[in-house]
């Protein structure tokens, strides 16, 4: 099913999304990957304020290529998500509602998704040029020294993603493969 959502991404929005749905996201989302997650969680541990409000936010695991002149951003597809597994539950406990990446998540992340009513989305890995066309504005808001890994505030229009793990913990990587194999019997 196709679902259209606007950020902020609320609990009610999250609940109507089921694993396997194609979801088009519009509004403001934030980028963060390995190094930025490490810093964000260090701030949380120190009780300090984060560079953006994570409540009902969506984080895109991406390190874009530099924009060519006149463009908002370069190619911008997802990076593999498991490297953020150590940090994701901390952010979900603070209200993070959506994560966009690709690939498997840990048991702890799935549990945190269920507990907090969040959703894990996958964008198509390796489709950086295509996904870039849905990003209309990009601005570095923290950790500029990290280059591609800096935290960026993005304005996206109908960013196409697939819901992989929904609020109930149903996982498309398991159900999709199983359904395909059954169809081949």
Partner 1 sequence: MREINACDIVKTVKKLCIEANCHLGEDVKNCIKCARENETWETACDVLDKIIENYNIADELSAPICQDTGVACVFLEVGQDVHINGDLNEAVNEGVRQGYKDGYLRKSVVKDPIDRVNTGDNTPAMIYYDIVPGDKLTITVAPKGFGSENMSRIVMLRPSDGIEGVKRFVINAVEEAGPNPCPPIVVGVGIGGTFDKAAYMAKKALLRDLGEHNENPYYEELEKELLQSINSLGIGPQGFGGKATALAVNVETMPTHIAGLPCAVNINCHVARHKTEVL
Chain residues that interact with partner 1, rule: CB under 8 A: 20, 22, 35, 62-68, 74-77, 79-80, 82, 102-104, 122, 124-130, 132-133, 146-149, 160, 162, 172-173, 176-181, 183-184
In the complex, minimum distance from the CB of residue 170 to partner 1, in angstroms, rounded to a whole number: 13
Count CB neighbours of 87 within 10 A: 20
If the CB atoms of residues 51 and 74 are measured against partner 1, the closer one turns out to be: 74
If the CB atoms of residues 81 and 116 are measured against partner 1, the closer one turns out to be: 81
Tell me the Ramachandran region of residue 18: left when phi exceeds 0, alpha when psi lies from -120 to 50, beta otherwise.
beta
Three-state SS at 117: coil
Judge if the upstream peptide bond of residue 8 is cis by omega within 30 degrees of 0.
Answer: yes
Query: Is 37 noted as a catalytic residue in this protein?
Result: yes
Strands 2-6 and 135-142: unpaired
In the complex, minimum distance from the CB of residue 60 to partner 1, in angstroms, rounded to a whole number: 11
In the complex, minimum distance from the CB of residue 70 to partner 1, in angstroms, rounded to a whole number: 11
If the CB atoms of residues 54 and 128 are measured against partner 1, the closer one turns out to be: 128
Please report, to the nearest 10 degrees, the dihedral formed by the alpha carbons of residues 169, 167, 15, 7 taken in order.
Answer: -130
Selecting among 37, 39, 97, 102, the annotated active-site residue is 37
If the CB atoms of residues 74 and 95 are measured against partner 1, the closer one turns out to be: 74
Helices (H), ranges, the chain: 11-15, 34-45, 88-93, 107-116, 128-132, 172-183
Catalytic residues: 37
């Amino acid at each position: 099913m196709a679902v259209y959502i606007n950020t902020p991404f609320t609990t009610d929005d999250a609940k109507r999304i089921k694993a396997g749905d194609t979801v088009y996201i519009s509004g403001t989302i934030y980028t963060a990957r390995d190094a930025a997650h490490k810093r964000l969680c260090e701030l949380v541990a120190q009780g300090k304020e984060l560079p953006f409000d994570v409540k009902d936010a969506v984080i895109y695991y991406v390190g874009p290529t530099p924009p060519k002149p006149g463009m908002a951003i370069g190619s911008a597809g997802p990076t593999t998500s498991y490297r953020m597994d150590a940090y994701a539950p901390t952010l979900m406990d603070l209200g993070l509602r959506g994560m966009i990446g690709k690939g498997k998540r840990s048991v702890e992340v799935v549990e945190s998704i269920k507990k907090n009513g969040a959703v894990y989305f996958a964008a198509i890995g390796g489709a950086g040029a295509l996904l870039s066309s849905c990003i209309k504005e990009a601005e570095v808001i923290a950790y500029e020294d990290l280059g591609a890994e800096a935290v960026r505030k993005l304005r996206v229009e109908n960013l196409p993603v697939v819901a992989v793990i929904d609020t109930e913990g149903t996982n498309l990587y398991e159900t999709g493969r199983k359904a395909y194999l059954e169809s081949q019997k």
